[in-house]
Amino acid sequence: MNQDPNFWTQWLPASLELHTLQWATLLAAAALLGYVLQRHWHIPKVVGYALVGSGAGLLGLGHTLWPVQGGILLLLQLTMSVVLFECGGRITLRWFRHNPMVLVQSLLEAGLTYGAVFWSLRALGLEPTTACALGLIAMAASPVVLARVVQDMRASGHVTDRALVLATLSTFYALMLGCVQVQWLAQDAAAPWWQGIWPAAQVLLSSAAVALVLCAVMRLALSWMSPLSESTSLLLLCLIAAGTAIAELIGGWAPLTALLAGMLLKQWQLRPWTWPRQLGTASSLLSLLMFVLVSAIAAQVAWTASMAAAVVVLIVVRLLAKAVGVGLGNMGSGASWHQAVWVAGAMMPMSAVALLLTLKFIAAAPDAAQALIATAMPAIWVLELAGAIAVALSLRRAGETEAPARVPVAQSPRSGD
């Protein structure tokens, strides 16, 4: 469709663009495949979304999205912001006061992941700048994938909560350290390292300031609006979108802003607060679009023989490091070793956050762009698909998912949703 657009435009109305038809068809196919996989094989819908996006990327549609910029980049940031805000709202800081080993566990698994990936890639001959960036990208487990799989499988329990917290915290660390690393990479190579501290601090402070204002406005709205109202849901979604735009405008980082805002609102909201049900449809549509985009972008990068070893090492070492970190931090954390195994399995995915970090590093270090793209993109593609399946298996083996519905469609049309 991309190679001969003139053939198609003669059949389309003047008001309908080719790309509009392509994406409408693509999203419809993703929604259909996701439904079929979940209903008939009990596989999370996100796997279907990623498969359709991967097919589009392999067929060439991903090339039209690269380089990621403009409206596509804004859409990815908005979608990630919505999901990260929700994930931030799940974290209760009081939990760490009563069970500090959970925080220790998160630091161990994130730190070990960074260190193991960095030194493994250095042993393969990658430059320190590239290995450092890939270590930070690998550090972040994907709360975006995890949250979507939890929603699809209606999972709840100790393993689900622990995995969401650890994935969100690892993302928080990666975004924070990524801000610092990006500013150091962007400065003159001859400049001393400490000159990058203030630009990095400006990004962090700008993100925190917007998050604080966003949290204050949301708390004010929730103090007199019903959390179950559709108007409240629309207001929260618009505020997150506005916060995303403002954070980028003043030099902050939109995903970090949304994550901080969700965490702050969880601590400061006087009444019990949960993510409004009315945002489910909007959030699902944004998630569908995001997973298709991420898969299409990641799949369009061809594997090269010279970087295949680095991709395999990154994936394997990352999985082992996260498993070891979760295991070491499990002592005294209140979880059994059986549960720790499934928590480690749920930490496998990489997705949109890793893609955004990759884009940031590519822009800050053009000299390392080729190696970053050739290593990070295939790893994101593999771990988005395999990671979603690993999360589903882990939660199912932990016994925290609902039993698959077996009621015929005629009797219960919504049983497969």
Contact 121, 134 (CB under 8 A): yes
pLDDT, position 90: 82
Environment class of 41 (CB within 10 Å of its CB; exposed 0-12, middle 13-18, buried 19+): exposed
pLDDT, position 137: 95
pLDDT, position 209: 94
Grouping H, G, I as helix, E, B as strand and the rest as coil, residue 3 is coil
pLDDT, position 413: 46
pLDDT, position 45: 93
pLDDT beneath 70: ranges in the chain: 1-19, 62-64, 188-196, 269-281, 403-417
pLDDT, position 152: 87
Contact 185, 80 (CB under 8 A): no
CA angle 88-91-92, nearest 5°? Answer: 140
> pLDDT tens for residues 10-43?
444 444 444 677 778 889 999 999 999 999 888 9
Q: Which helix (H) or strand (E) holds 91?
A: none
pLDDT, position 181: 87
What are φ and ψ of residue 99, in 5° steps?
Answer: -140, 75
> pLDDT tens for residues 146-158?
988 998 898 989 9
334: region left, alpha or beta (phi > 0 left; psi from -120 to 50 alpha): left
pLDDT, position 235: 87
> Domains plus CATH for the chain?
27-398 (1.20.1530.20)
pLDDT, position 410: 44
Environment class of 11 (CB within 10 Å of its CB; exposed 0-12, middle 13-18, buried 19+): exposed
Tell me the whole-structure pTM to 2 decimals: 0.87
Q: Positive or negative, the Cα torsion across 398, 99, 95, 390?
A: negative
